[in-house]
């Protein structure tokens, strides 16, 4: 009888162990500081900001005992979704993601969340109705950056002016927020003549073609160009100079070395600058805290700089 009771107790203990092991996708209980696996999924390594972000992740990741790999979609969302599915299948602990199309990756991110993976949105945020999927967001407030740019030109052109917009990748979170933010910040007498996104994403060659088309269509009416990234602004500057329009007030976003140099040279009036170093550092710090059982702020806004000819020499020169 005693043997039978002992056998029952042993079987029950094995069931408890089995259930505990199965809970959380079969992963062993984590201890603070344990190594972890993370994946950085981004829309394109051909985008200098994302290549620099990956460089910074690699430089900083050892401080947090997190091993990382990256998946670059090169603006093919199917590749990004494939990366998420790989992370689920290989039981990654963390995904940092800046996708080319936010809406398209939501179903896959939902599956990753259900698998127990920590989701960190990097530079791009999910729509409000889906923010329960991610654990945190680290990035600039692109709406606020666009709004500041709109307010900036309104102050510079109190009597009104006309603008055209050269956008980046349609459907990208940053693109949408920069578009909307500029319109929220500008005065009513800053009038839109045209707006177009680059069909192939953040493509400088396409940005130049768009600007050339705007110059043909609107000519001397154009006072301002609101361009969504500094390397695109380079192409806009080239098109404007080729048309003999050196007087156009050109704005870019990113705050990279190209934007800083163009501001310093006087060919770009403003660069709305971001810090991808601080984004990467905050993302890793948040992931480590969550891995170790702590809590973090869901929204982590990294401040932006308004880089102009007046202050470009006083700000740290960007490394990308």
CATH number for the domain that contains residue 254:
3.40.50.2300
Q: Does residue 111 sit in the same domain as residue 180? A: no
Residue 165 sits in the same domain as residue 282: no
175 and 80 within one domain: no
Residue 6 lies in a domain: no
Does 33 share its domain with 99? yes
Per-residue pLDDT band at 46 (split at 50, 70, 90): confident
Q: Is 134 exposed, middle or buried (0-12, 13-18, 19+ CB in 10 A)?
A: buried
Query: Are residues 127 and 25 part of one domain?
Result: yes
pLDDT above 50 for 290: yes
* Token pair belonging to 285: 């710090």
Q: How many helices (H) does the chain have, and how many strands (E)?
A: 10, 12
Separation CA 114–CA 105 (nearest Å): 14
Same domain membership, residue 146 and residue 123: no
Give the range of the structural domain holding residue 55, as residue numbers without chain letter.
Answer: 21-140+276-302
Residue range 234-278, pLDDT digits in tens: 999 999 999 999 999 999 999 999 999 999 999 999 999 999 999
- Would you say residue 56 has pLDDT above 60? yes
Note whether 80 and 125 are same-domain residues.
yes
User: Would you tell me how many other CB atoms lie within 10 Å of the CB of residue 209?
Assistant: 17
b/e per residue 169-198 (b: at least 16 CB within 10 A): bebbbbbbbbbebbbebbeeebeeeebbbb
Instruction: Assess whether 84 and 96 both reside in one domain.
Output: yes
Whether residue 288 sits in one domain with residue 237: no
What is the pLDDT averaged over residues 195-201? Answer: 93
d(CA 155, CA 52): 33
pLDDT at residue 24 greater than cutoff 80: no
- Does the residue 313 lie in any domain? no
Residue 11 lies in a domain: no
Domains: count for the chain: 2
Domain check: are 153 and 268 in the same one? Answer: yes
Residue 311 lies in a domain: no
Determine the Cα–Cα distance for residues 155 and 140; give it in Å rounded to an integer.
23
Residues 97 and 246 in one domain: no
SS3 80: helix
Do 149 and 135 share a domain, yes or no? no
Rounded to an integer, the average pLDDT of 297-310 is: 95
Q: Is the pTM of this model over 0.75?
A: yes
Contact between residue 152 and residue 170 where contact means Cβ atoms under 8 Å apart: no
Q: Is residue 309 part of a domain?
A: no
Residue 68 lies in a domain: yes
The reply to whether 291 falls in a domain is yes
Residue 314, in any domain of the structure = no
Average pLDDT of the chain is 91
């Amino acid at each position: 009888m005693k043997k039978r009771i002992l056998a029952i107790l042993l079987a029950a203990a094995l069931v408890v162990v089995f259930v505990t092991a199965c809970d959380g996708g079969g992963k062993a209980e984590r201890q603070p500081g344990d190594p972890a696996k993370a994946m950085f999924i981004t829309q394109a390594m051909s985008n200098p900001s994302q290549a620099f972000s990956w460089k910074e992740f690699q430089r900083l990741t050892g401080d947090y005992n997190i091993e990382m790999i990256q998946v670059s979609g090169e603006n093919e969302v199917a590749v990004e979704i494939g990366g998420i599915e790989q992370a689920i299948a290989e039981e990654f602990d963390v995904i940092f993601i800046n996708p080319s199309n936010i809406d398209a990756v939501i179903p896959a991110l939902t599956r990753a969340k259900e698998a127990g993976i920590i989701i960190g949105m990097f530079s791009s945020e999910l729509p409000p109705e889906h923010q329960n999927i991610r654990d945190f967001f680290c990035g600039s407030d692109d709406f606020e950056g666009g709004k500041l740019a709109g307010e900036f030109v309104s102050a510079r052109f109190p009597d009104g002016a006309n603008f055209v917009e050269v956008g980046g990748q349609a459907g990208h979170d940053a693109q949408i927020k920069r578009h909307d933010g500029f319109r929220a910040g500008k005065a009513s007498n800053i009038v839109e003549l045209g707006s177009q996104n680059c069909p192939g994403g953040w493509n400088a060659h396409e940005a130049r073609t768009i600007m050339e088309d705007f110059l043909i269509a609107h000519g001397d009416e154009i006072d301002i160009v609101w361009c969504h990234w500094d390397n695109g602004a380079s192409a806009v500057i080239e098109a404007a100079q080729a048309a003999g329009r050196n007087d156009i007030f050109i704005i870019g976003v990113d705050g990279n070395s190209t934007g800083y140099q163009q501001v310093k040279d006087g060919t770009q009036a403003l660069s709305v600058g971001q810090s991808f170093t601080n984004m990467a550092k905050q993302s890793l710090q948040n992931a480590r805290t969550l891995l170790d059982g702590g809590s973090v702020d869901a929204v982590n806004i990294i401040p932006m700089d308004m880089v102009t000819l007046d202050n470009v020499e006083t700000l740290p020169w960007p490394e990308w």
